[in-house]
Structures are given as structure tokens and as C-alpha cells.
Amino acid sequence: MLELLGLFVLALLPIVWLVIALCGLHLEAYKAAIGAFAVAAVEALIIWGMSPLNVATAALEGVEMALWPIGIVIVAAVFTYNVTVHSGAMDVIKRMICSVSSDRRVLVLLVGWCFGAFLEGMAGFGTAVAIPASMLVALGFEPVCAILACLIANGTPTMFGSIGIPTTTLASITGLDPTQLALTQSLQVLPFVIVCPFLMVMLVGGGRKALKGMVPTILVSALAFAIPEIATAAFIGAELPVIVASVCSLVATFAFSLARKDAPVPDEYRLGIEEGDAITPASALRAWAPFILIFVVLLLTSKLVPAIHDPLSSISSKVNVYQGDPSATLTFTWVDTPGVLILLCGVAGALIQHVSPRETAGVMVATLRQMSKTILTMLGVLACAKVMGYSGMIGSIAAFFVGTLGGLYPLVAPLLGALGTFVTGSGTSSEVLFGNVQIQAARSIGANEYWLAAANSLGTSAGKMLAPQSIAIGTAACGANGRDGEVLGRIFRYFVGFVIAMAALVFIGSVLGL
């Protein structure tokens, strides 16, 4: 028992350093991430007995993953947004959005909740924070407030992100039926889907007073998301729940808000938007063109259209980077990956918006400069995550919980999922790290395997709120570099509340035999 406890404490040190560096020492995120990698590497060499070659190649695998597919999709998403700002199209989009309502509480639901979830369902990899948070800042929101709102919104859809990849991956490695797993997940996450829009409105409105006059709109937005998500998971499977739910919520919230457009908006919640030229259908279509292209292209190249998806996905390379395990391969998909597709849509959108190739290249250079520290942060985080995974640190953390809690284990099942996302920044990686741990724990205590596997996904979504990678993406996209520690400190209380509530829900469900 003492050995389990000792290894558990030592395995947590890279994570502890990351939190202290960001919140206590107020280091920039990339410095904190590189420090976490250094702590993990030293421990892997000295305590877990990894060879220098294995540490180096594990880190290299993390670096390559950080660059492709994660890094390219973040750069592509921010580049697309920056093109719309450069062309003036974002001003058109702002006026169109505010034509529905000038109330910041309504706008955070439309942009942060509905559109953010749509981006998570279609692309994932941080786009659900980068693009909507940037749009909220453009609308007049304070940057940290915009980032926090989008992080909260991202606390529920991750399990079904990127056309359901986290859930289908979890089903694949555990042998569970993906449709039944998706239904269990959607039922578990239901209370949090209802709560998130309320929290977002209170955040941007300064507390509970912001709910006055907004409860009907919030409930429409939440229920129009929750009900279609459950129905889609039950009848279609894991690929579409968040996409269908976000579109339904967007349409319902838009229509309901438009019907209440004449209702007075308190001055403290009103956003002032400058008047401009009349918006014609052509100018509106031109302004939204990059985002429309992203939707169409990602949908056509997804698994839902195998005639296009399959040949494009076959353009890939599989390599063994980590030398400690010949079977540990990394696959690089060169065309059918969100980053490449979004980048192409961004370039096409620039042409549609009459941005010259020279100007487009200038926007790309500026975007790379803007995102450079974020990319360094991701390199450090993913290198740290791979060293922790391959060395056995992650296994030591899981072994401690499984070995010491017995029948109380369901209380920490969501925490493991959240920990996996916090360390790696990826819902899919968290499912890979802890999916089978949850199944083994369920068998040892006689719990429902689907219930505990879904609990991992529940925690995975909450962990996305707190992941340094998500925070770094948000601060870079919103021009708030250096404020990562502030964001982490403020989002932490929401994360803790989510994890405690999730633990209680999973434990009660396990006791009831769900």
C-alpha cells in the first residue's frame, strides 16, 4: 500500500508543477509546460527506469502529435478567423448576430454555447475555444470572460467531438457497443448540458442577477440541445449527437430570441455595435463563406460519406516513433484531417472575401507569430503526456485509485477521465489511457461496464475546461497571452464543481445498478 501511495504521489508531480507554475508562479504557459516535461523526464529516468532513448522517443512522439494534427488545426482555425477580421467580414457577422439581440447574455449562448459545440462536434482540437472566444471578443466581450465562457461550454461535448472519435475509440478498445455507450454517455451528461448555459449567462452577466428575464431563453437553448443529443445517440450512434444537438439548439435559440427581440435589454447587458452599410444577401454569404465551407467540407469528408472519406483517409503514413514498443504506431493523415481541411477553407474564404494572395500570406505569418507560444505549450504538454503514459506514471495513478477504493471507486471514475484530458489536452487520449482501467474496475466491483466507461467520458469532457492546452489556445486567439494562470485559477472552481457533481452522479448510479 505504501508503495502504491508513493508512486501515486510521485506520478502527480508533473501535474502539481504545472498548476503551481501557472497559478502560483504565474509563469507563461509554454514555460510551465516545458518544466512539466522536464519533471516527468527526470522521474521517468530515475524512478520508473526508462532508458534515455525511450524517454527521448516518447517525447518526440508527443511533439509530432502536437504539431500534427493538433497544431495545424489550431493554426488553421485562428487563421480563418483572422482572415474574416482582415477582410472586414467579421464586422458584417457581428452586425448580423447582434440583429438577433444586443444582449450579451443571448449572444454568449448563440456563439459560445451553440456555435462552439458545433465546432467541437465537427472539428474538435481546440477550435471550439479559439473561434467562438475570438468572435465574442470581437463583439465586445472582455477576453478572459470570453475564454471562460467557451471553456465552460466545452465542458460537455468533448465525448462526441470530432464526429464522435473519443466515443468510438473508447468503444473499440473496450469492446463495448458504441450506440449503447453513446446513449449512456448522453444520459449521464444531461444535467450538465442543462446547467452549462445557466453558468455561462451568470458568468457574463455578473452573477445570479443575470438570470432575470433569461430563464426561458436558457431553457430553450439547453433543452433543444439535450433532447436531440439523447435521441441521436440512441437511434444513430456516437458520430452525430453533438452536431445535431448544436444545430437544433442554434435554430431554437435564434428563433426564440428573434421572437423576443423587442423585449427591453438592460443597459448593463447591452452591447453597442456601430452601424454600417446595409447587409445584402451577397455580403452576408461572403462574410460567412469560410464557416459555411468548413461545415460542408468537414461533413462531406467525414465517415458519414465513406465514398469521399475512405480514399482521402488512405493518404496517410504510419510510423513507429517510440522505441520502447514496436507496436506503438503513430498515423499521420495528410489530407482528411481537420487542420488541412479548415486551412483550405480559410484560403478559399479569403479569395471569396477578395483578400489578395499577398495579404492572405501576411495573415498567415501574423497568425503563426500569434500562435507561436501556444504551439510551444502544446509541444511541452504532449511530450510530458507521452512520457507519463509510456513510463507507467499514468498507470500508477490509476492503480492507486483502483487498489485502495474498492466499492467507492465510482467516486473517482470521472476524475480519471478528467485527469487524462488535463494531461494530454485530448478527449481521445484520455479514453485510450483510462478506458480499460474503468472496465477492469467495473468487473472487480461488479458495476455496470457501460456506466463506468461513460463516466470516463463524462470526466473527459470536464477536463477539457481545465486543460492547459485549451487555455493556451484561448489566450492566444483572444490576445490575452500571459493570462493563462488567471484563466486557470478562475476556471478551476467550475471544474471542481463539475467533478464533484459527476462523482456523486456516477456513484449513485452505480449503487442503483444503472
Assess contact for 61 and 326: CB atoms under 8 A: no
- Tell me if the pTM is above 0.85: no
Residues paired with residue 332 on neighbouring β-strands, in sequence order = 317
Task: Provide φ and ψ at 122, rounded to 5°.
Answer: -85, -45
Residue 319 three-state SS: strand
Which of 418, 316, 371, 322 is closest to 62 using CA atoms? 322
Q: Given this model, what pLDDT does residue 272 score? A: 66
Q: Given this model, what pLDDT does residue 87 score? A: 92
Alpha helices in 20-126 (DSSP H): 29-46, 52-65, 72-87, 89-100, 104-107, 116-122
Q: Which residues of the chain have pLDDT under 50?
A: none
Q: What is the DSSP-derived secondary structure letter of residue 49?
A: -
Rounded Cα distance between 42 and 139, Å, is 46
Rounded Cα distance between 65 and 20, Å, is 26
Q: What is the DSSP-derived secondary structure letter of residue 354?
A: T
Rounded Cα distance between 442 and 440, Å, is 5
Assess contact for 33 and 377: CB atoms under 8 A: yes
Q: Given this model, what pLDDT does residue 275 score? A: 58
Which of 171, 28, 5 is closest to 468 using CA atoms? 28
DSSP 432-479: HHHHHHHHHHHHHHT--HHHHHHHHHHHHHHHHHH-HHHHHHHHHHTT
Q: Given this model, what pLDDT does residue 34 score? A: 92
Q: Given this model, what pLDDT does residue 268 score? A: 84
Q: Given this model, what pLDDT does residue 357 score? A: 94
Rounded Cα distance between 435 and 430, Å, is 8
For the chain, the residue count is 514
Assess contact for 216 and 106: CB atoms under 8 A: no
Q: Given this model, what pLDDT does residue 27 score? A: 82
